[in-house]
A and B are shown apart, each in its own frame.
Chain A
Amino acid sequence: MQTVVNSEKKTTLTKIKGFNELGLLIVLAVLFVFFSIASDYFFTVKNLTNILGQIALPLISAVGLSLLVISGEVDISIGSLQAFAALPLLVIMNSTGSFLLGAVGAILVGAGIGVVNGYLVTKLKINSLIASLGMYYALRGIVYLITGKVPIVDEIKGDFFFAIGNMKLGNILPYSAILMFIILFAFMYIMRNTTYGRRLYAVGGNAEVSSLIGINTQKMKFSAFVICSTLASVSAIILASRLGSAQHGAGQGFEFQVVAAIVLGGISLEGGTGSLLGAFIGVTIMGIIQNGLGMLNVDTMWQLVITGSIIILAVAIDELKKRH
C-alpha cells in the first residue's frame, strides 16, 4: 500500500509544490509581458481574442484528457481521433445538410471510441499507454482507408458549421472560446464539487484504498475514457470547421501537445493530482508561446522541439518533487 508521505519539511522543493498554480500564473504573466514588448501586434484585442480561439481546440481536449490522467490512465490516440471524428461529421452533414446531425454523429463516434479504449484497458487489462498507442495508429490508418487520403470537403457551406470554428460573438469573442469556457467551467465544477469528481482523484491517488472503501475503480476509469474521447471529438468538430473539411492528416502530433500542456499545468502522469485550472493555464502558456513565436516569425518546427523539451522538463521536475 502507498504510504501517505511528506512531513512539513520546508525545503525548496516543498515550496515548488505550492508552486503549481501561483507559479504558473507568474510564468504566464512573464510571457505576456515578454511578447507584448517583443511584438507590437501581440497585445491587441484582436490578437488576444484570437489566442482564446486558438487555445479552445486543445483546451477542450485537455479537459477530457485531464480527467483521464487524474484517474490514473492516459490516451494518446486523441490526435488520430481529430481526423477520425471529422469523418461522420462531414459525411452526415453533406448527405443530410444538417450540421447538428453531423455533430451528433461525430460525438457519438467519439464516445464509441472511448468505450473501446475503456474496454481495452479495464476489461482486457492492457496498459493504457500501449492500448492508446495501438489506437493512435489504427484510427489514423482507418481514416486513410476510408478517405483514400482525399479530404472530404464541406459541400453544404452552412452557417453553423462555419461559425463554430471561425466566427466571433459580436465580432469579439470566438464561439469556440465560448464553448471552451462552458465546458471548462462545467467540468471544473464537477471535479471540485461532486462525489464523482473527488472520487476520480481518489482512484488516481490511491487505487487500492479506493477499492477497499467500495469505489468501483474500473467503472470510474471507464467513464473517464469515454469523457476524454467525447470531448476530443468536440475539438475535432471545431478543427473541421476551421479546415472546412475532414482532413486525413488532421491532429498529427496533437496528442503530444495536449499531454505536454497538462503536465506543464501540474497534472501528474501518475494520477491523483492537478486541477483543471492548472490545465487551463498550461494550455494557455503553450498557446501564448505558439502565438508569440508565430508573431516573431519563429519556425513551427521549433515548436515541436520546444514542446518535446518541455515534456521532458515537466516530467523531470515532477519526478524530483515526488522523490522528496
Chain B
Amino acid sequence: MEKTKLGTKLILFNEIMLVAILILISLVISIGAPKFYSATNLLNILRDSSMAIIAGIGMTMLLITGEVDLSIGSLVAFVGVVTMDITNKTGNFFLGFIAGLGLGAIVGFVNGIVRTKLKVNSLIGTIAMMMILRGGVYLYSLAAVQNYHQLNSFYMFGNGYVGFLPIPILLMAVLYVAFLFIINRSLIGRRLYATGGNPVAAQISGINVDRLKIGTFVLNSMFAAIAGIILVSRMNSGQPNSGTGFELTVIAGVILGGTSLGGGEGTLVGTLIGVLILRVINNGIIILRMNQDWQIVIAGIVIILAVYIDNKRKAVREKIITT
C-alpha cells in the first residue's frame, strides 16, 4: 500500500536520519580537529552527556504524555545545593542523595498538581516554577556550598570509575536500558503513549490521566535530580547558579530526537541521538577552539529548527490521513 511506504519512511526518517546527521557532524569536526576521535575525547563527550541523557529519559516520558518541564535547570542547582548541604550536615552521602532525590520528587509533584488540578498550561507553570526554584536556591544558600564532608562515596559518584567506565556513564546506561524496556514494553509505557496520543480515549479506556501525568512529572524531576547530584559531585560544590540552560539542551535534544511537543510519540533512541548531536556540537565548538558562547546560540537555533521540522512532519502526516 502506498500509504505504508511513505509512512514507514517517516518513521525510519527519524532514527536513520539522525544517526546520519550525527556521523556527518562528527566527520566535519574531526577534519578540523583530529583529536575528536581520541578515546579520551569520546569518553568525555559521553560522560558530559550522561546528565543530559538521564534527564532526557524523564523529559521524553513527560513529552510523550503531552507535557513539558522547563524548571529542571533550576532544579539541578537546587538539588546540588541541598545534597551537598545535607551531606555536610549528616556526614552521610546516602542521606544527602535521598534529600536531593526527595526534593526532586516534591517539585515534580507540585508541577503535576499545578497542571492537572489548577489546569495551568505546563509550559507556563514550569517557567514559573523555574523562577521560584532559582530564587529559592539563593534563599537556601546565597553562596556556593563547599564540600566539608570530604566523603569518598560522594566523590566517586560523579568522578569514579568501574573499570574503564566512568560511573555516570554506567548509571546512565543502566537507567537508559531499564527505561527503554519500560517505555516500550510495560503497561505504564503503553499508557503514557495513549495519554499523550488521545487523553479522552485513554480516559475512556480506564486510564487515570491525571494520576499518570502527576506521576510522570514526579519521575521527570527525579531524573533531573539524579543529574543534579552527578553535577554537584563533579563540581565538588553546590553552586546556586548552576544548571542554567540545562533545560534547553535536554528539551532541544529530546525534540530533535523526534519526540513531538504534541504528545503521543517519541523514543528514547531518538532522544539519545538527539542529545548526542547537541553534545557533539558543543564539544566540537570547544576543541575547534571556537568561542564557547556559540553553544547557546546554536542550541537556540536547533530548537527552532527542530520544531519547524516537527511541524512539517506533522503536516505531511495530516495530509496522509485526510486523503
Contact = CB atoms under 8 A, between A and B. Distances in A.
Interface of A: 76, 120, 124-127, 129-131, 133-142, 144-145, 148-149, 253, 256, 260, 269, 299, 301-309, 311-312, 315-316, 319-320, 323
A316 B110 CA distance: 14
B135 A120 contact: no
Interface stretch (B51-59, B85-93, B122-130, B171-179): B122-130
A144 B298 CA distance: 13
Interface in B282-323: 291, 293-301, 303-304, 307-308, 311
A140 B296 contact: yes
Interface residues of B, number: 38
A133 B261 CA distance: 14
Interface stretch (B16-24, B37-45, B101-109, B112-120): B112-120
Contact of A129 (B118, B123, B294): B123
A26 to B, nearest CB: 24
A97 to B, nearest CB: 30
Contacts of A149: 293
Contacts of B304: 120, 126, 130-131, 134-135, 138
B132 interface: yes
Contacts of A269: 121, 124
Nearest to B136: A305
Given A120-B304, A312-B120, A319-B120, A144 B131 contact: no
B134 interface: yes
Residue from A144, A253, A319 whose CB has the most chain B CB atoms within 10 Å? A144
B121 A315 contact: yes
A145 B295 CA distance: 10
6 contacts: A120-B304, A141-B299, A148-B291, A304-B132, A305-B136, A315-B121
Contacts of B293: 141, 144-145, 149
Interface string B129-162: 1111011101100100000000000000000000
Nearest to B139: A301
B138 A125 contact: no
B245 interface: yes
A315 to B, nearest CB: 5
B92 to A, nearest CB: 29
Contacts of B127: 76, 256, 311
B207 interface: no
A312 B128 contact: yes
B124 A315 contact: yes
B132 A308 contact: yes
Nearest to A137: B300
B248 interface: yes
Contacts of B291: 144-145, 148
B300 A305 contact: no
A145 B294 contact: yes
Nearest to B134: A304
Contacts of A315: 118, 120-121, 124-125, 128
